[in-house]
Amino acid sequence: MHFFPYSQEMNSAGWNLPGRGTDAGANAADDGGLDVISLGRRVRHLRKAAGLTLDGLGTVVGAAPSQLSLVENGKREPKLGMLQSLARALGVSIDELLGAEPPSHRAALEIELERAQRGPLYQSLGLPTVRVSSRLSLEVLESLVGLQHELERRLDEQSATPEEARRANSEIRAEMRARNNYYSDIEAQAQDLLKAVGHDRGPLSHHVAADIAEHVGFDLHYVGDLPHSTRSVTDLKNRRIYLTQGQRADHDPRSVLLQALGHYLLGHETPRDYGDFLRQRVYTNYFAAALLMPERATVDFLKEAKAAKELAIEDIRDAFAVSYETAAHRFTNLATEHLGITTHFQKVHESGIIHKAYENDGVNFPADHTGAIEGQPVCRFWTSRAVFDVPDKFRAFNQYTDTAVGTYWCTARTERHSSGEYSLSIGVPYAHVKWFRGRDTTERSQSKCPDESCCRRPPADLSAQWAGHAWPSTRANSHLLAAMPAGAFPGVDETEVYRFLQAHAQR
């Protein structure tokens, strides 16, 4: 295939995305690390087989019984010295102690139930966890694990392409969180390109963006008949990039051009699946942002603002002549890597639904059973929801929010797009607020989510009056019920694109 259509279809991770953290022990085996749940059950099995109590084993290995209990329950990863002492005390080798095969049928069930309860599916149900102990009968264990299998099976039956999209978003978000949303290889490529065209400081103009395209060897063609499902089309055969001068205000023309170049310069090939398509979108959007806001200049700006305790997203926006959203995204790229600040970002529709998000600061975003947060409603007490009711739309709105996992300070503002009004918010844990302008705000809220009594269940007095007497007609968007468009580039009519290229090639 010899074209790169830049689709107008906007998916939830369509910039530089990562949800919600999981327990360290829940997915350790999947990540190639130590499976602390399996290890704990094996230690317990071997201890009981040796006729030892926790106190007795603690005396032998020189550890407190409470520490050993945490190890057996899969809540603490023992150090190498402890592993060696445990192996000697239990009469097995290290390899046997770390073996993947559960020591018994019961242990296998306990391990599976423990993993399930720490996973996003179980957490999304809002159910209390069951303490997995020897007092739990084998029949109850088998029933609980069986129910988990059946629930997963039924959910998998619904895994049409919308489900696939949510899983893909969760996967790319996990990747981004693991890297603190910083991609050094893409930064280096962007820096080399800027150096080649002689741009170092200040906003990147349309003229310099065109110079970049020329340096790479592409001609720019502005046309009035660009396929309706695309923002740009790249003709790799004739090395042309087709754009339209009628771009909506939603999209910065410089960014559209740089994203199109990114596909080529990052060596992208035709997407194999939706996850590949999404990952390419993330990387090209990151690439464009790294050109619009060069790493060296942006980091210098941020460090100066941090030293003055005047960090503010609107200042970044103004300094580099980009949108507030682009400035917020770029802040998440650089904040942890260069400033040591963990953070989270949200783009929330006026309906309260998450459109895009990222976090590496432990904030408890709502999530479905796959771990995906796109399409989930945000607590109405969070800054990203409260800002819609603020009459002053010119300045940023700042608020502290006490949550179940800590206090966060967030700054937010709203912007109107063709698809409605959205809030854009950047937040940090309380420990980092001292670096930001707006930290002196007196606005404060409390969120008890995911407790349903917080904001998902109507107040008792209203329910008493209206429960059973209301029948709202839901505004159901048809795209939520349909499968994702088929094809290598979801949402793109390839026939329309090919006809467009053929017509312009002949001209």
- Choose the weakest-confidence range: 88-102, 203-217, 351-365, 430-444: 88-102
- The three state secondary structure string of 228-246 is CCEEEEEECCCCEEEECCC
Residue 4's pLDDT band, with cuts at 50, 70 and 90, is low
CB distance 405 to 362 below 8 Å: yes
* CA angle (345, 317, 258) in 5-degree steps: 85
Tokens of 396: 């940023």
pLDDT of residue 160: 40
pLDDT of residue 398: 97
The span from the CA of 268 to the CA of 280, in Å, is 7
Residues of the chain with pLDDT > 70, as a percent, come to: 85
Mean pLDDT to the nearest integer, 377-401: 94
What does DSSP assign to residue 219? E
Phi then psi dihedrals of residue 25, to 5 deg: -90, -10
473: pLDDT strictly greater than 90? no
Mean pLDDT across the chain: 83
The span from the CA of 9 to the CA of 75, in Å, is 42
The span from the CA of 261 to the CA of 241, in Å, is 8
385: pLDDT strictly greater than 90? yes
At 453, the amino acid letter reads S
pLDDT of residue 309: 97
Mean pLDDT to the nearest integer, 387-416: 94
Phi then psi dihedrals of residue 424, to 5 deg: -120, 120
Residue range 135-187, pLDDT digits in tens = 888 888 889 888 888 887 766 554 445 667 778 888 899 999 999 999 999 99
Phi then psi dihedrals of residue 73, to 5 deg: -90, 5
pLDDT of residue 111: 82
CB distance 427 to 436 below 8 Å: no
Provide CB contacts within 8 A for 448, sequence distance 6+: 404, 454
The span from the CA of 170 to the CA of 373, in Å, is 8
The span from the CA of 489 to the CA of 313, in Å, is 33
Count of alpha carbons within 13 angstroms of residue 404, beta-carbon side? 10
Q: Is 60 exposed, middle or buried (0-12, 13-18, 19+ CB in 10 A)?
A: middle
310: pLDDT strictly greater than 90? yes
Helix boundaries (H) for 197-312: 206-216, 253-265, 274-292, 295-307
Residue range 262-308, pLDDT digits in tens = 999 999 888 887 788 889 999 999 999 999 999 999 999 999 999 99
Helix, strand or coil, per DSSP, at residue 221: strand
pLDDT of residue 74: 82
- Choose the weakest-confidence range: 9-23, 145-159, 369-383, 449-463: 9-23
At 387, the amino acid letter reads V
CB distance 91 to 102 below 8 Å: no
Residue range 17-43, pLDDT digits in tens = 333 333 334 444 444 456 788 888 888
The span from the CA of 94 to the CA of 86, in Å, is 9
Residue 14's pLDDT band, with cuts at 50, 70 and 90, is very low
Helix, strand or coil, per DSSP, at residue 412: strand
pTM value surpassing 0.75:
no
Residue 246's pLDDT band, with cuts at 50, 70 and 90, is low
Which residues make beta-bridge pairs with 402? 407, 446
Distances (CA, A) of 235 to 220, 261, 493, 497, 501: 10, 11, 16, 10, 7
Mean pLDDT to the nearest integer, 185-201: 93
Tokens of 122: 């179980």
190: pLDDT strictly greater than 70? yes
CB distance 411 to 439 below 8 Å: no
The span from the CA of 115 to the CA of 430, in Å, is 31
The span from the CA of 392 to the CA of 400, in Å, is 18
84: pLDDT strictly greater than 70? yes
Best CA proximity match to 181, nearest among 306, 19, 68: 19
The span from the CA of 140 to the CA of 305, in Å, is 58
